[in-house]
């Protein structure tokens, strides 16, 4: 196992003492196969215990360690040091307020996630005796990729429209709404449409596509949003140009 000194440039911010963030440089002795999160852990344990950041699983499942690494939204646990040369610049996720150091305030995302009702709303209530809601493999496959979202918010950090228009509901929340809309057991699309087909929903999206490019779980939020735009457009013409087609 070979070792290498990695220069980390970490954005620091202490709300009690700082008026604005500043970069702090650390020279970190690292193993070659380490990820950026390992380097940060080493800093915290051996160099500077005041450094704050979120992490939990170290295996790209929990979605807590999202941060900007050399300007790209990444999971720190998935960003291998061997893929970087020179100084590695680590900043908190873009477009979110900085709570402290690499920790961001994520209330905005959590609120939006609740608004889109990301849970099954059955078409009709069914007594337990009626048995399970059956679903074919094809029906499962239809929405499966969207279930892989881990709420890491990298897509929000990558989305320029979210940066420019913060009220935009954004990629992950809308594609999670899509995940339930596309579920054969669900009947809640019309309720979700009130949020995601509003001006703050898909219509703030200009299909940059960055969300899908940075997603660590290979979910395709950009695709979900375009599909919702097409369906909402068909809805609109049905509701306004052909009022007789209303249920």
Partner 1 sequence: MAKSNKPIVWGLFAAGGTVTAFLTPALVLLTLLPVFGVMPELLAYDNLRAFAGHWMGKLVLFGILLLMMWHAAHRLRVTLHDFGVRADGAVAVAVYLAAAAGTLAAAYFLLRI
Partner 2 sequence: MSANGKPYVREVSRYGWFLGNPRYRRYMAREVTCVFIGLHALILLVALKRLSEGREAWEAFLHNLTGPAGIVLQLVILAFAIYHSTSWFNVTPKAMPVQIGEQFLPGAVIIGAHYAAWLVATVAVLYLAGAF
Residue 67 — φ and ψ, nearest 5°? -155, 170
Q: Could you say which DSSP state residue 200 is in? A: T
Could you tell me the CA-to-CA distances from 6 to 63, 112, 173 in Å, in that order? 24, 38, 36
Q: Could you say which DSSP state residue 29 is in? A: E
Q: Is 110 in the site for partner 2 (CB under 8 A)?
A: no
Q: Is 217 in the site for partner 2 (CB under 8 A)?
A: no
Burial label, 103 (beta-carbon count in 10 A; 0-12, 13-18, 19+): middle
Using DSSP bridges, classify how beta strands 66-69 and 72-75 pair: parallel, antiparallel or unpaired.
antiparallel
For residue 174, the partner it binds in partner 2, partner 1, none, with Cβ less than 5 to 8 A by kind, is none
* Contact window for partner 2 (CB under 8 A) among 16-24, 25-33, 78-86, 196-204: 16-24
For residue 232, the partner it binds in partner 1, partner 2, none, with Cβ less than 5 to 8 A by kind, is partner 1
Q: Is 12 in the site for partner 2 (CB under 8 A)?
A: no
Q: Is 87 in the site for partner 2 (CB under 8 A)?
A: no
For residue 200, the partner it binds in partner 2, partner 1, none, with Cβ less than 5 to 8 A by kind, is partner 1
> Shortest approach of partner 2 to residue 118 CB, angstroms?
21
Q: How far is CA 126 from the centre of its chain?
A: 34
Q: How far is CA 142 from the centre of its chain?
A: 20
d(CA 195, CA 190): 9
- Of 127, 131, 137, 243, which lies in the binding site for partner 2, with binding defined by CB under 8 A? 137
- Contact set for partner 2, span 38-57 (CB under 8 A): none
**Which residues contact partner 2 (rule: CB under 8 A)?**
13-21, 71, 94-95, 97-99, 105, 137-138, 141-142, 160, 163-164, 206-210, 212-213, 220, 222-223, 226-227, 229-230
């Amino acid at each position: 196992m070979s070792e290498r000194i990695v220069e980390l440039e970490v954005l620091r911010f202490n709300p009690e003492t700082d008026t604005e963030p500043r970069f702090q440089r650390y020279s970190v002795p690292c193993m070659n196969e380490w990820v950026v999160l390992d380097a940060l852990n080493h800093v915290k344990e051996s160099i500077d215990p005041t450094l704050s950041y979120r992490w939990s699983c170290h295996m790209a499942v929990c979605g807590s360690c999202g941060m900007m690494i050399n300007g790209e939204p990444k999971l720190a646990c998935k960003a291998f040091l061997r893929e970087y040369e020179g100084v590695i610049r680590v900043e908190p996720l873009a477009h979110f307020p900085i709570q402290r150091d690499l920790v961001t305030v994520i209330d905005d995302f959590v609120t939006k996630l609740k608004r889109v009702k990301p849970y099954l709303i059955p078409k009709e209530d069914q007594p337990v005796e009626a048995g399970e809601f059956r679903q074919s493999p094809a029906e499962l496959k239809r929405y499966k990729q969207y279930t892989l979202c881990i709420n890491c918010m990298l897509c929000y950090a990558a989305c320029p429209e979210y940066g420019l228009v913060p009220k935009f509901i954004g990629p992950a929340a809308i594609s999670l709404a899509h995940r339930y809309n596309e579920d054969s057991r669900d009947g809640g699309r019309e309720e979700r449409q009130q949020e995601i087909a509003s001006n703050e929903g898909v219509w703030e999206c200009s299909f940059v596509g960055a969300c899908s490019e940075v997603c660590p779980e290979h979910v395709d939020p950009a695709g979900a949003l375009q599909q919702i735009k097409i369906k909402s457009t068909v809805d609109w013409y049905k509701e306004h140009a052909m009022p007789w087609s209303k249920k």
